Amino acid sequence: MAELIKPRRLSPGDTVGIMAPACWVDTEQVKAASTILEKMGLRVRLGDTLFKKHGYLAGTDEERAGELNAMFADPAIKAIICARGGYGTGRIADLLDYGLIRANPKIFWGYSDITFLHAAISRFAGLITFHGPMLIDLGKEDLHPLTVQNYETLLRPSVLRYTEEISPLQVLVEGEAAGPLVGGNLSLIVSSLGTPYELDTKGKLLFIEDIDEEPYRVDRMLNQLKHAGKFADAAGILICDFHDCEPDKRKVSFTLEEIFDHHIVPAGKPTLSGFRIGHCSPNIAIPIGVRARMSTYEKLLACTEPGVEA
């Protein structure tokens, strides 16, 4: 794995590139959400993938990977924000130019299916990236001020400090731990196992989230991560939002809390749950790769530095 480097902060007047590395999007929704970035003093450049449809994808694999490579190469673009996730980033991971990305470090931002690209870019380009709300999230009716504030920290760098002032946190395993932050969407983390992009959790703080997965599916994925040693390797574990992960096909079910007890608690690593990170409102951004510490006694997650160079 390459030594991690930070992207530079944004300044008023900087250009932000918007693209769709996975599924296609509603372009009118993207245009409307872009106005929020413009009100922050940023310029917005809409990528060609926003206007393409190839099955359920925003263009072919070559088109999406080509645009992402081009945005990293373009010196006029200072940040790349994913319009949405869905499915498809795993298909382009081996088409990216990681040497190019490392030579042109800039903010890369998204979550959900974008998890695969976070893992790939971290491993092969050594760039700190951001697990944060995507552009279409800015167009939602229930847009939370903290969700917007995430973007403002890219202009005015700050250090993430998550306490119960944001949301109630529950202790699953007592303790304190420190290490770089890694993780994202549970389904995507599991899909990386056995590939060159497999997530390394050794000595790190692992955070997980997901959406629309029934408890038995969450059970299956956590069981796989457990057997892959990902919980045993981690320094600490952060359980984030599992949105609409309710029983449907199997009405008689374990609760998510019981499943966490089955698969995560036995690892004995400090574990907190309840973080508003993922498919939720607010959706708090996480700088992937930045060192942080967690304490169940303080009910705290705190980064040691900003995710961008000042």
User: Active site includes 279?
Assistant: yes
Q: What is the mean pLDDT of residues 37-53?
A: 97
Residue range 138-183, pLDDT digits in tens: 988 888 999 999 999 999 999 999 999 999 999 999 999 999 999 9
The 10s digit of each residue's pLDDT in 56-67 is 999 999 999 999
What is the CATH T-level fold of the domain 161-303, as seen in this structure?
Answer: Glucose Oxidase; domain 1 (3.50.30)
- For the chain, which residues make up each domain, given as ranges? 15-155, 161-303
Residues 244-302: pLDDT tens digits? 999 988 779 999 999 999 999 999 999 999 999 999 999 999 999 999 999 999 999 99
- Which one of the listed residues 67, 118, 209, 213 is annotated catalytic? 209
pLDDT the model gives residue 250 = 76
For residue 2, pLDDT over 70 is answered with no
Task: Enter the tokens of residue 32.
Answer: 């409307």
Which of 134, 107, 122, 121 is closest to 23 using CA atoms? 134
Its CATH class, for the domain covering 15-155, is alpha beta
Which of the following is catalytic: 34, 67, 112, 118? Answer: 112
- 3-class DSSP state for residue 57? strand
Residue in 118, 131, 263, 279 annotated catalytic: 279
> DSSP assignment, residue 239?
E
**Region 233-245 average pLDDT:** 97
Q: How far apart are the first and last CA of the chain?
A: 25
Note whether 15-155 and 161-303 share their fold.
no
Three-class secondary structure of residue 145 per DSSP: helix
The answer to whether residue 112 is catalytic is yes
Mean pLDDT across 35-43:
96
Res 170: pLDDT = 98
**Which pTM value belongs to this model?**
0.96
Are 263 and 222 within 8 A, CB to CB? yes
Q: Where are the beta strands (DSSP E) in the chain?
A: 15-19, 43-46, 77-82, 107-110, 129-131, 161-162, 170-173, 176-185, 205-211, 236-243, 271-273, 286-288, 291-295, 300-303
User: Which residue matches tokens 């694999």?
Assistant: 61
